[in-house]
Structure 1
Amino acid sequence: MIIRTGIVLAFVVGITGCFESEPKVDGRWYTQSQIDLGKDVFLNNCAACHGAGAQGTKEWRKTLPNGKYPPPPLNGSAHAWHHPLKGLKATVQEGGAKFGGTMPGFSGLLSDSEQEAAIAFFQSKWTPEIYQMWLDRGGLQ
């Protein structure tokens, strides 16, 4: 009985070792599944303001008549890449009021994995050069 249990255990351990987690996209922190989920999350929660392609508002540096900033591009053409992942997630959770914007917080509406997926989606729009600059600035710290 002990020998059979040992063989079964060795088989199970061997089989589970064969399954690898989904590979990261182009050396980035996220997977294709996260991008796919993030696209849905982004389109349903963010695109109305930031645009379906995360292109933001053309005049994102100029304040609106109410003194607030319009939604910036998140596609790598503005300043989002200056912020580490932790900061991007905090902005998704808490909103953009502390930065002079009007974005609401999504901490009670989106799960952690949905928040990260939305970030993965817009970061997937970043060129390799922008992503590398983000990494060089400590983006994953």
Structure 2
Amino acid sequence: MKKKTIFALGGAVAVSAIVVIAVVFSGAYPKKDAAQVRLQPDNLQLVAMGKKIYDANCASCHGRDFKGEANWRERRDDGLLPAPPHDETGHTWHHPDDLLFALTKYGPAKMIGDGYQSAMPGFEKVLTDEEIIASLSYIKSRWPKEIQMRHDQMNKSAAQ
């Protein structure tokens, strides 16, 4: 198989996984908490606060450079997935604001349920809603403008 074909198949698998995750998560978290969530990557004060929160709570796994852990698509020996990147190479920007908020607040294990295991904790008892929004706004502020625009468009579609 040629490299282009392998890459295309890998991309198709990744997109399929993202669709499955979105379907599984839809309705799996309290909408009242996440319904009004809007990230604000242009709010410099919020982004500055978000950088401090990210550095203290997220960078140890996802990296100060947002690159995540090596081989983040492959389960480790303990069965857990490594932390994904939060830059444009990862899948963070493929999820609408409310889902990113809920994943951060409640953690993947609680959102998926059915005994799903994840190394990522929920930050419900650690960070306020504003701090979660600030950290996510900081992450989004670091994406290329094209990715930010695509994410904004996805949020508009998700709201309809």
The interval holding the TM-score normalised by the smaller chain is: 0.7 to 0.9
What is the alpha-carbon distance in structure 2 between the residues aligned to residue 116 and residue 75 of structure 1?
Answer: 17
Aligned pairs (5 A) from 1:27-38? 29-30=40-41, 31-38=43-50
**8 Å Cα contact 2:70-2:82 kept in structure 1:** no
Equivalent of 1:53 in 56, 65, 69? 65
Report if aligned partners of 1:71, 1:101 keep a CA contact under 8 Å in 2: no
Q: How does 1:1-141 map to 2 (within 5 A)?
A: 29-30=40-41, 31-97=43-109, 98=112, 101-138=118-155, 141=159
Q: What stretches of structure 1 of length at least 5 have no aligned partner?
A: 1-27
Under a length normalisation based on structure 1, what TM-score does the superposition of the two structures give?
0.74
The question of whether the paired residues in 2 share the 8 Å contact of 1:68 and 1:102 is answered with yes
Name the structure with the higher helix share.
2
One-letter amino acid matched to 1:83: H
Deviating beyond 4 angstroms after TM superposition, the runs of 4 or more aligned structure 1 residues are none
Aligned-partner Cα distance in 2 for 1:57–1:91:
18
Q: Which has the larger radius of gyration?
A: 1
CA distance, structure 2, for counterparts of residue 52 and residue 127 of structure 1: 17
In the alignment, the residues of structure 2 paired with residue 53 and residue 38 of structure 1 have an alpha-carbon distance, to the nearest angstrom, of 14
CA distance in 1, matches of 2:148, 2:49: 20
Letter in 1 for 2:54: F
SS at match of 1:58: coil
Amino acid at match of 1:104: P
Residues 49-85 of structure 1 deviation map (CA, whole Å, 9 limit, x = unaligned): 1111222113111111111111001122111111110
Structure 2 distance, partners of 1:94, 1:81, is 18
**Secondary structure at the counterpart of residue 106 of structure 1:** coil
8 A Cα contact 2:72 2:82, kept in partner: yes
Q: What's the RMSD between the two structures over aligned residues?
A: 1.8
* Structure 2 gap segments, 5+ residues each: 1-38
